[in-house]
């Protein structure tokens, strides 16, 4: 008789023997990736799927956290698996697994078909996919230095230097600093003929400085103005983290003596360090077409935008021009292809203050009369179903000769400048927002 421990050990050994390791697949295993993908697609179509795709993904993460001149946490993870998505009689089915082997892929493909057939009974709107060109290619985030090749000690030394710089400021009380790195390796293949391998890298250094007034017990904090970027460790090395840490400490201390912002109607100037959040919430999410047509509501709400608003809705002044862009080098949402296998692109959302475009994928493009996807399908994990998600949303800068920030301030009679992102809250349809 086998006991529980022996059973678990035997199952682990069996899985290890049958599954293909991520180092092999994403190292020199391009042919094996293709073979596994083709097996999944063949199984799906043989069981009745009119369309099928598979994503085989590996996620490497490193998170380093320091606080008060001490290393608090170092976490390295390596996550690996696949998801199969398919259509049977106009209905989606999806299933996934962490065991990447031929037998498991066949089983999961059959499971996805069964789920699609079960969903068919309640589907009143058959899926319509916009056509897409097939690709057989690779795409990698252009990096100069992989963060996963940089010694851990070098990262710790820089984080602890941030502590020392901030704490040189009299009145600075606490410092926390961190670095987070992600490498997403993904292989996409579809029954329409695409085979796409990508390696995406994102880097995000950050810190916060807190100043405590011991007499009043009040405390104020200032955070780094960094953002996650689609870059390698060169982003960390080029960003003025130490200088910004000193400024953040000075501002946190100064806040104790600052008067509250005056109440009343004011001219409002938003620095880019805050404006990104306003654009994200008031332009980015509302122009996701799945929210507009009612596909998406559970996460971050729906939208005030209607399909009939295209070419008519005045979003802002004639100076306002906003683009969606999945091609911008170094941006966090930049990829070569989305999770539908659609090549990345750039297109207008707002031109001269008027709403002219939306974010679409293959499934939603027909709602606005378009015959091709804008490439916005995305899944944040192999286990999750891919659906429409926001690309980089960017406001065009002013034309040459436009006022500088200093000139804008000089012309303001009574106003408030907001620099840095703090609290935010917005209603489920994004009619009203509060951004601090």
- Per residue in 80-108, pLDDT (tens digit) is 999 999 999 999 999 999 999 999 999 99
Residue 412's alpha-carbon distances to 41, 320, 404, 409, in angstroms, are: 62, 20, 13, 5
Least confident of 6-10, 333-337, 423-427: 6-10
**Other Cβ atoms closer than 10 A to 393:** 21
Identify the pLDDT of residue 408: 83
DSSP E strand stretches across 213-321: 219-223, 267-270
Is 358 in contact with 320 (CB distance < 8 Å)? no
Which letter does DSSP use for residue 148 in this model? Answer: G
Nearest C-alpha neighbor of 102 from the set 12, 187, 13, 42:
42
Of residues 316 and 14, which shows the higher confidence score?
A: 316
The whole-number average pLDDT for the span 317-336 is 95
The whole-number average pLDDT for the span 121-149 is 96
The Cα 249–Cα 243 span in angstroms is 10
The Cα 213–Cα 131 span in angstroms is 61
Helix ranges restricted to H, 174-240: 234-238
Residue located via tokens 């329409």? 192
Report the relative pairing of strands 136-140 and 195-212 from DSSP bridges: parallel
Nearest C-alpha neighbor of 79 from the set 96, 64, 60, 95:
60
Identify the pLDDT of residue 3: 60
CA angle centred on 193, ends 188 and 197, rounded to 5°: 25
This prediction's pTM: 0.89
Residue 189 has pLDDT above 90, yes or no: yes
Residues 2-22 pLDDT 10s: 565 554 454 444 444 457 777
The Cα 406–Cα 16 span in angstroms is 62
Share of the chain above pLDDT 90, in %: 76
């Amino acid at each position: 008789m086998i006991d529980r421990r022996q059973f678990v050990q035997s199952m682990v050994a069996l899985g290890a023997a049958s599954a293909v390791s991520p180092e092999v697949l994403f190292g020199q295993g391009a042919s094996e990736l293709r073979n596994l993908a083709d097996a999944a697609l063949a199984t799906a179509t043989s069981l009745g799927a009119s369309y099928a795709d598979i994503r085989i993904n590996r996620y490497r993460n490193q998170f380093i956290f320091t606080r008060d001149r001490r290393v608090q946490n170092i976490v390295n993870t390596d996550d690996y698996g696949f998801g199969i998505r398919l259509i049977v009689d106009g209905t989606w089915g999806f299933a996934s697994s962490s065991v990447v082997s031929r037998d498991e892929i066949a089983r999961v493909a059959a499971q996805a078909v069964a789920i699609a057939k079960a969903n068919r009974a309640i589907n009143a709107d058959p899926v319509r996919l916009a056509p897409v060109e097939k690709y057989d290619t690779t795409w990698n985030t252009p990096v100069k230095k992989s963060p996963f090749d940089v010694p851990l000690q070098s990262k710790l030394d820089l984080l602890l230097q941030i502590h020392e710089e901030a704490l040189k400021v009299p009145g600075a009380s606490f410092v926390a600093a961190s670095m987070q790195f992600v490498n997403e390796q993904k292989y996409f293949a579809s029954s329409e003929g695409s085979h796409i391998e990508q390696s995406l890298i994102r880097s995000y250094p950050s810190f916060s400085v807190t100043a405590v007034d011991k007499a009043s017990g009040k405390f104020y904090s200032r955070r780094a103005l960094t953002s996650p970027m689609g870059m390698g460790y060169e982003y960390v090395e080029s960003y003025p983290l130490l200088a910004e840490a000193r400024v953040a400490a000075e501002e946190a201390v100064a806040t104790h003596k600052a008067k509250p912002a005056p109440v009343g109607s004011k001219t409002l100037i938003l620095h880019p360090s805050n404006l990104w959040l306003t654009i994200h919430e008031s332009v980015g999410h509302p122009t996701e077409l799945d929210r507009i047509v009612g596909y998406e509501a559970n996460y971050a709400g729906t939208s005030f935008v209607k399909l009939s608003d295209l070419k008519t809705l005045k979003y802002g002044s004639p100076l306002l021009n906003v683009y969606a862009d999945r091609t911008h080098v170094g941006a966090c949402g930049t990829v070569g292809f989305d999770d539908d296998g659609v090549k990345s692109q750039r297109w207008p959302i707002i031109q001269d203050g008027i709403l002219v475009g939306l974010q679409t994928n293959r499934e939603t493009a027909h709602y606005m009369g378009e015959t091709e996807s804008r490439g916005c399908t995305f899944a944040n994990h192999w286990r999750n179903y891919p659906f429409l998600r926001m690309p980089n949303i960017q406001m065009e800068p002013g034309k040459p000769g436009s006022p500088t920030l200093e000139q804008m301030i000089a012309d303001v009679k009574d106003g408030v400048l907001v620099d840095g992102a703090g609290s935010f809250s917005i209603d489920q349809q994004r009619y009203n927002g509060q951004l601090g």
